Amino acid sequence: MRFRINRSSSTPAYAAPEEPAPAPAEQTLEPEAVEAPLSAHETALVRASVAVVEPMAAEITVYFYAILFARYPEVRPMFPPGMDAQRGRLLRALLRIVDLVDDPENLVRFCGHLGRDHRKFGALAAHFPAVGECLLDSLARYAGPAWTPDIAAAWTKAYGAVADVMISAAEQDEAVRPAMWAATVVHRVPRGHGIAEITVRPHIPYAYAAGQYVSVETPWWPKQWRYYSPANAPREDGTLTFHVRAVAGGAVSNALVHRAAVGDVVHLGPPMGDMVLDAAVHNDLLFVAGGTGLAPIRALVEEIARRGGRHQVDLFLGARTGAELYGVDDMLRMAQRHHWLALRGAVSHEYVPGIRGSLPEVLTEYGPWYQHDVYLSGPVPMVVSASEALTLHGTLPEHIHHDPFDTPVLSVP
């Protein structure tokens, strides 16, 4: 099947109106009165076909990349050499985006974000028809007789809608900021337990907000982007410090912890994430961090100090053992400097002086927290269980802030 994307104007009918003034950081396309790109019948057709193909997603992914790289070898270098773990993300996104075809506002928001982020991969408008063609051919092959001309037409429209939003967002983004930022490693401090602090200086200014995270590409694993949270509020000298923990068998984290040296150059993608101070509605804040999850929390503490300490902050650090209680000395120093910061460390698997218990247990004991905005950061099970314990005791879910668990760009609103 040959695939064409209809882009009669630079702004698609269902995209947001043009932004009045380009912001230096991420432009958000604010959708107003956006029309759904598909009719209710077309949406139902697309959804029904997803239900047919979803169980075969793994096979479809293999087939999709095989035909994409065979038909369009020029796109192969854009993808990582070994694609095992990440392979499914693009297809998974496409299948999930289908959930948004009758929710145009979120479609624009999510795909706009995706389009801007795709600039760092080198994706160009001209690549979209190729991906669309291979996607539809793959779906057709695996859906078998369930793939009717009506379904094919509805999918063509749905993919076109998504591609249009991504391309428009990327084009607008191109006018205001680079696709990625080169940054030189200027400092590297091993912190024990497989953790290192890596400070980089971007070659051109990099605007971000405390609490956000950044995708990083290293010279040792080209095209393998991983997310790390700066542990500092924006500094005058423009440097960012990441706290990286080497995970067993992990490619990028081990390279950063054990191999990176002063002078090495990495690339940063655009900043992401909503775990920022301006998201808080309350003055009292509860910060909860486990392991290197402390990084964005530390940045938020610095940001509060920078703004004059107008929040009351309770900070809980959690770990299994006392030795694993990461960053406690640093935070103690901060708590001594700032009267508005109260620090508590909780250890779950060892008897040490101080608080004993898992973070959810300790939070429950020290609550209530329903008049606080809560910022959670750390291992996924900790964030999930702390969040459950807090909601159980009255904290509203909309006042609990945390980063996405997996591939952030796949966190469909």
Ligand X SMILES: Cc1cc2nc3c(=O)[nH]c(=O)nc-3n(C[C@H](O)[C@H](O)[C@H](O)COP(=O)(O)OP(=O)(O)OC[C@H]3O[C@@H](n4cnc5c(N)ncnc54)[C@H](O)[C@@H]3O)c2cc1C
Does 407 participate in binding ligand HEM (rule CB under 6 A)? yes
Nearest-approach distance from CB 407 to ligand HEM, in angstroms? 4
Q: Which of residues 211-240 bind ligand HEM (CB under 6 A)?
A: none
Task: Residue count of the chain, please give it.
Answer: 413
Element (H, E) at 76: none
Half-sphere exposure of 326 (CA within 13 A, CB side): 26
DSSP annotation string for 353-378: SSEES-HHHHHHHH---TTSEEEEES
Applying CB under 6 A, the span of 24-32, 120-128, 245-253, 258-266 interacting with ligand X comes to 245-253
Query: Which SS3 state, helix, strand or coil, does residue 138 take?
Result: helix
Whether the link from the prior residue into 368 is cis, omega within 30° of 0, is: yes
Q: Report how far apart, in Å, the C-alpha atoms of 253 and of each of 217, 260, 377 are.
A: 11, 10, 18
Q: With H, G, I as helix, E, B as strand and everything else as coil, classify residue 244.
A: strand
Contact residue for ligand X among 176, 251, 335, 412 (CB under 6 A): 251
Of 45, 46, 166, 266, which one interacts with ligand HEM (CB under 6 A)?
Answer: 166
Residue 61 vs 199, nearer CB to ligand HEM: 61
Query: Structure tokens of 386?
Result: 């702390």
Q: Is 292 in the site for ligand X (CB under 6 A)?
A: yes
> Interacting stretch for ligand X, rule CB under 6 A, among 113-121, 128-136, 241-249, 387-395?
241-249
According to the binding rule CB under 6 A, does residue 409 interact with ligand HEM? Answer: yes
**Does residue 208 bind ligand X (CB under 6 A)?**
no
Binding mask 87-126 for ligand HEM (x = CB under 6 A): --xx--xx--x----------------x---x--x-x---
Q: Does 78 sit near ligand HEM (CB under 6 A)?
A: yes
The β-bridge relationship of strands 240-245 and 225-228 is unpaired
Helices (H), 292-370: 294-306, 328-337, 359-366
Q: Which residues contact 255 (CB under 8 A, 6 or more apart)?
A: 218, 220, 221
Which residues 328-367 are close enough to bind ligand X by CB under 6 A?
none
Comparing CB distances to ligand HEM, the nearer of 117 and 302 is 117
Kindly indicate which of the ranges 47-55, 251-259, 280-288, 300-308 contains the residues binding ligand X, using the contact rule CB under 6 A: 251-259
Residues 83 to 112: which contact ligand X by CB under 6 A? 85
Looking at the Cβ atoms of 162 and 256, the one nearer to ligand HEM is 162
Please report the sign of the dihedral spanned by the C-alpha atoms of residue 161, residue 108, residue 103, residue 213.
positive
Q: Return residues touching ligand HEM (CB under 6 A).
A: 75, 78-80, 83, 86, 89-90, 93-94, 97, 114, 118, 121, 123, 127-128, 131, 162-163, 166, 407, 409-410
